[in-house]
């Protein structure tokens, strides 16, 4: 099925997007987001502008990025947000006009941040809102803290809630799930694994849109699938040997960094990369392995790219959209609901069979 679609698009001249048509920005907010930008710069991502944003001047000076923005100079004086999301939010609002100038004309904006601290939690959703107002497709990429970090976890849930409202799709990486995937690694090494997964995911997607590839991601399809995504997860797997296509796809499904049932996903973005020995048939088999496990009405887009550095390896990176996680999303039950920020999965309210005047409702005289 995927082969026929690919050949049909080739004959129609569709599906292969010329480089330079799509403007992409990757914005890292706060310490965790800045770390992702650092890794992307070391990896050498092509086709996107990397922007680092922070309230901490010292940390920002150590980051490699195409552009750096110190936000909230009047509020924080460059000393950070002190783990207070409200300070991070106000700092970003203070620098909103500068952010609008940087993101004007962008087609896709990735906003990556760690939830639970001050700058990432408070400022990242504002960046997403600004990018969306500028007309971009906005993908939030957020990392959730451990549940035993009670204060940080509550802040993180509120930040995630805000990011879900602001971005078209929000990719969640849960540190608790990370510890299940790599339980024996030292803490710093485990965090580096998550950082590397995020960086490789963003790099892979960006380059299959913006750089000539074996099979490019179609921007129109990308826009459609991300516009309806809500919560998404990422999985990365790789393998070598005669069955590496299927094994890499299975590994990616087994190593998603959020506890979800991926079979309920309504969309999938599949990126396949391999060395110069990777064939078109292998790329198709890896993509079909994933699509066969999804619902028939799920929307799937895919791309494949030759990466000489992978040598004999084949790597599959997945973004599954429209998923639900009881562990993360159930956290909203502990948040006091606001009229402007209701639970997105709630159904419409039914009218109450009560004949009450407004003052009776307000004073509960019934």
**pLDDT tens, residue by residue, 117-164:** 999 999 999 999 999 999 999 999 999 887 777 778 889 999 999 999
Instruction: State residue 11's pLDDT score.
Output: 41
Q: CB of 325 within 8 A of CB of 172?
A: yes
Nearest CA to 155 out of 169, 137, 142 is that of 142
36-45, 255-264, 320-329, 344-353: which has the highest mean pLDDT?
A: 36-45
Decide if pLDDT at 346 tops 50. no
Instruction: State residue 290's pLDDT score.
Output: 92
Work out the pLDDT band at 2, boundaries 50, 70, 90: low
Work out the pLDDT band at 283, boundaries 50, 70, 90: very high
* 3-state class (DSSP) for residue 13: coil
Nearest CA to 86 out of 52, 117, 113 is that of 117
Instruction: State residue 15's pLDDT score.
Output: 41
DSSP 114: E
* CA atoms 122, 124, 125, 126: torsion sign: positive
Domain ranges of the chain: 1-17+234-324, 20-211
Count CB neighbours of 19 within 10 A.
14
Give the separation between CA 204 and CA 190, rounded to whole angstroms.
21
State the burial class of residue 93 (Cβ atoms within 10 Å of its Cβ: 0-12, 13-18, 19+).
Answer: middle
Q: Read off φ and ψ for residue 152, nearest 5 degrees.
A: -65, -40
Q: Exposure string (b/e) for 100-133, b if CB count within 10 Å is 16 or more? A: eebbeebbbbbbbbbbbbbbbbbbbbbbbbbbbe
CATH of 1-17+234-324, one of 3.40.50.2300, 3.30.1330.20, 3.20.20.70, 3.30.350.10: 3.30.1330.20
Decide if pLDDT at 70 tops 90. yes
Instruction: State residue 328's pLDDT score.
Output: 55
Give the separation between CA 320 and CA 294, rounded to whole angstroms.
10
Give the separation between CA 118 and CA 132, rounded to whole angstroms.
22
Work out the pLDDT band at 1, boundaries 50, 70, 90: low
Plot region of 213 (φ>0 → left; ψ -120 to 50 → alpha; else → beta): beta
State the burial class of residue 245 (Cβ atoms within 10 Å of its Cβ: 0-12, 13-18, 19+).
Answer: buried
Instruction: State residue 227's pLDDT score.
Output: 84
- pLDDT averaged over every residue in the chain: 82
Decide if pLDDT at 349 tops 70. no
Q: What is the mean pLDDT of residues 55-76?
A: 96
State the CATH architecture for 20-211. 3-Layer(aba) Sandwich (3.40)
């Amino acid at each position: 099925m995927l082969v026929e679609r690919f050949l049909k698009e080739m004959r129609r001249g569709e599906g292969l997007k010329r480089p330079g048509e799509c403007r992409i920005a990757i914005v890292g907010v706060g310490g965790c987001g800045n770390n992702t930008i650092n890794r992307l710069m070391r990896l050498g991502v092509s086709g996107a502008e990397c922007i680092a944003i922070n309230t901490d001047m010292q940390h920002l000076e150590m980051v490699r990025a195409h552009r750096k923005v110190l936000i909230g100079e009047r509020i924080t004086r460059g000393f950070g947000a002190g783990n207070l999301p409200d300070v991070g939010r106000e700092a970003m609002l203070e620098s909103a006009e500068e952010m609008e100038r940087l993101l004007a004309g962008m087609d896709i904006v990735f906003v990556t941040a760690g939830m639970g601290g001050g700058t990432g939690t408070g400022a990242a959703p504002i960046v997403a809102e600004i990018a969306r107002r500028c007309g971009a497709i906005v993908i939030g990429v957020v990392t959730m803290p451990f549940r035993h970090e009670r204060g940080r976890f509550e802040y993180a849930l509120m930040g995630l809630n805000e990011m879900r409202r602001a971005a078209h799709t929000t990719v969640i990486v849960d540190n608790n799930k990370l510890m299940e995937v790599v339980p024996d690694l030292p803490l710093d090494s485990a965090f580096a694994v998550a950082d590397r997964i995020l960086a490789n995911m963003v790099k892979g997607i960006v380059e299959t849109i913006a750089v000539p590839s074996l099979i490019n991601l179609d921007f129109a399809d990308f826009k459609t699938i991300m516009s309806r995504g809500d919560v998404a997860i990422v999985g990365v797997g790789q393998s070598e040997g005669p069955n590496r296509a299927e094994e890499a796809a299975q590994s990616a499904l087994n190593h998603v960094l959020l506890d979800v049932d991926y079979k309920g996903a309504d969309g999938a973005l599949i990126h396949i990369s391999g060395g110069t020995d990777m064939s078109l048939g292998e790329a198709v088999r890896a993509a079909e392995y994933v699509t066969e496990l999804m619902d028939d009405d799920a929307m799937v887009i895919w791309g494949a790219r030759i990466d000489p550095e992978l040598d004999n390896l084949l790597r599959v990176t997945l973004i599954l959209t429209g998923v639900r996680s009881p562990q993360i999303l159930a956290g909203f039950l502990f948040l006091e609901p606001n009229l402007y920020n209701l639970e997105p999965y709630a159904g419409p309210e039914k009218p109450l069979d009560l004949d009450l005047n407004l003052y009776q409702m307000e004073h509960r005289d019934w």
